[in-house]
Amino acid sequence: MTKPRALIFDWDDTIVATFKDVLALHHQFLKARGREENIEDQLRQLWGNPLRKVLADIHPEDQVEKIEEEYYKFIDQADFVVKPFPYAIEILKKISRQYKVMGVVSSSPRRGFNKTVSRFFSDAPEVFTFICMADDCQFHKPDPRVFDPAFSELDKKGIEENDVLFIGDGMSDLLAAKARGIDFVGLLSGFATKEQFIEAGLSEKKILNGLTDLPNYLNKYPS
């Protein structure tokens, strides 16, 4: 069991509690546009895709650029910000004292990430070496090329795929990591169940309830 030289984190439902609040926001947005419907199942199917893809599927009657602009204006008026899980920031700061190379790879837009960081996590630049959001890569999980921007930074430090641990909550996270040859730890804070992770070949020892269990898991690596 070799200690990783770098940690990469997913963002949504790994560090921040996203789905429930975003679902409520989409319902409010639909209502403001005169549509009363429950899109929970549809949003679950779309979850993990870039926002533009999500909006295009939920609002097929609109040009995606137009609906995206309208959606962002609605978010700003509502002052909507996704909140981190309890103790997530403290946990990341604690881990960063031991792991000096940490980053984020996510399909979320950088705009939302920046709003959360500015309000709740102002010292994120001291914790994360790199941030790769949907705006930074044309590929998205489960495509393993989603890690390309991260490795453009990691390569400079001589860090290769087998030196990295990726922490995520979804099946697309696991599949992207496996295809890239990156070790993976699955969190049960998102949609994926323990059974789904195991069925996909993930060891039960690498499945944690949430981010709060990660420090103890990392402590099992030899110093």
Q: What is the pLDDT of residue 223?
A: 66
Residues in Cβ contact with 20 at an 8 Å cutoff, skipping those fewer than 6 apart:
none
Architecture of the 6-17+83-218 domain? 3-Layer(aba) Sandwich (3.40)
Where do the domains of the chain lie?
Answer: 6-17+83-218, 19-78
How many CA atoms within 13 Å lie on the side-chain side of 103?
A: 21
pLDDT in tens, the chain (223 residues): 689 999 999 999 999 999 999 999 999 999 999 999 999 999 999 988 889 999 999 999 999 999 999 999 999 999 999 999 999 999 999 999 999 999 999 999 999 999 999 999 998 999 999 999 999 999 999 999 999 999 999 999 999 999 999 999 999 999 999 999 999 999 999 989 999 999 999 999 999 999 999 999 999 987 6
Tell me the sheet residues that pair with 90.
Answer: none
Q: DSSP letter string over 124-144?
A: HHHH-SEEE-GGG-S--TTSG
Prediction pTM value: 0.92
**Rounded CA separation 48/158 (Å):** 29
Q: What is the pLDDT of residue 191?
A: 87
Residue 165's nearest CA partner among 156, 69, 152, 150 is: 150
